Chain A
């Protein structure tokens, strides 16, 4: 086998989520992060708020589907001061999220927002239902709980 004939594009025709060290700045803000998405040689460090691991193509691989859920869970945990975990994630239509209003300027039929219904469990065992929306236009997650947008993290940081 000719080792030089293997190109990066042939090897990585999918988005892959990596956890790296040392940390770098998120591509969208000044937060430091140790998570990045790589695609065919591109490297994109992303914080929990901006870090949705979308599929490379319209036919996601098993790993891409797994990585998508990992980034949703990462965002929810980050919103809760990096504690607890998700016990259930279900993909849903964004328009069915209580409190969510689609951006009027967004060409919704082309790139609709992604949404999930999640069940979050705090370390004490208490569970809560909430919703996560990924805005394609603003490239960031939003958390909805009790029919309203959650605009602050549990540790006090304003988004």
Chain B
């Protein structure tokens, strides 16, 4: 069993780099600094994890130092990205019962959230987001169906 501790933080950087899961350029990353339990004063191997909004799920785990808030932030980032990087997501909450997601075919291990999207004109859409552990990417569901295209490009 590992006794490692870790701290994680988000950076915005330039120039943009390809996502580690696809070739999409992105300027957002998580940096993890692991600290061994045996030597708390020396950090080892700072690690940068560059992911686009589609593949950028930073779920809570002690090994990478990601928190529950990191997970919610990555869901919100994905939803806004699906809406052409406009608007905001004022509410995200995880849901346990994935069968509540309309049009979604249950797959073991997937995770889901309810997300409220607010467009720049104030219009709100209650949506669902699923992270597919087999596909390593997010899926968006709005108005009872899966959304397969971004506002500006195919997701």
Which A positions have Cβ atoms within 8 angstroms of B? 3-4, 6-8, 11-12, 16, 18-22, 24, 27, 36, 38, 41-45
- Chosen A-B contacts, 26 in total, with CB atoms closer than 8 Å, are A3-B21, A3-B22, A4-B136, A6-B20, A6-B21, A6-B23, A7-B20, A11-B18, A12-B17, A16-B17, A18-B13, A18-B15, A20-B13, A24-B31, A27-B46, A36-B13, A36-B48, A41-B47, A41-B48, A41-B49, A42-B45, A42-B46, A42-B48, A43-B46, A43-B48, A44-B46
B3 lies within 8 A of chain A by Cβ: no
> Assuming the A-B contacts A38-B48, A41-B47, A41-B48, are A21 and B20 also in contact, with contact meaning beta carbons closer than 8 angstroms in the complex?
no
Q: Are the CB atoms of A8 and B20 closer together than 8 Å?
A: yes
Question: Which residue in chain B gives the minimum CB-CB distance to A10?
Answer: B20
Residue of A18, A21, A42 touching B17 (CB-CB under 8 A):
A18
How long is the Cα–Cα vector from A21 to B27 in the complex, in angstroms? 10
Which of B11, B18, B47 is close to A20, meaning CB atoms less than 8 Å apart? Answer: B11
The 6 closest A-B pairs by CB, nearest first: A43-B48, A20-B13, A20-B11, A18-B13, A43-B46, A43-B31
Given the complex, which residues of A lie within 8 Å of B137, measured CB to CB? 3
Q: Is B2 on the interface with A (CB-CB < 8 A)?
A: no
Bound CA span A41–B49, Å: 6
The range of chain B's interface size is: 20 to 34
Contact residue among A3, A6, A11, A21 (Cβ-Cβ distance under 8 Å from B11): A21
Given known pairs A20-B12, A20-B13, A21-B12, the reply for A3 and B136 (CB within 8 Å) is: yes
Closest chain B residue, CB of each to CB of A17? B15
- Which chain A residues border B15 with CB–CB below 8 Å? 18-19
Once the chains bind, are B49 and A4 in contact (CB under 8 Å)? no
What is the CA–CA distance of A18 and B16 in the complex, to the nearest angstrom? 8
Binding site for A on B (CB under 8 A): 9, 11-15, 17-18, 20-23, 29, 31, 45-49, 55, 136-137
A6 lies within 8 A of B47 (CB): no
Docked complex Cα distance between A38 and B49 (Å)? 10
Q: Is the interface of A mostly helix, strand, loop or mixed?
A: strand
Among A8, A18, A43: residue with most chain B CB under 10 A: A43
> Is B46 within 8 A of A4, CB to CB?
no
| Shortest Cβ gap from B42 to chain A (Å) | 11
Q: A19-B13, A22-B9 known; 13 other A-B pairs, CB under 8 Å?
A: A6-B20, A6-B22, A18-B14, A19-B15, A21-B12, A21-B13, A22-B11, A36-B48, A38-B17, A41-B20, A42-B45, A42-B46, A43-B47
* Whole-angstrom distance between the Cβ of A12 and the nearest chain B Cβ: 8
Q: What residues of chain A lie closer than 8 Å to B136, measured between beta carbons?
A: 3-4
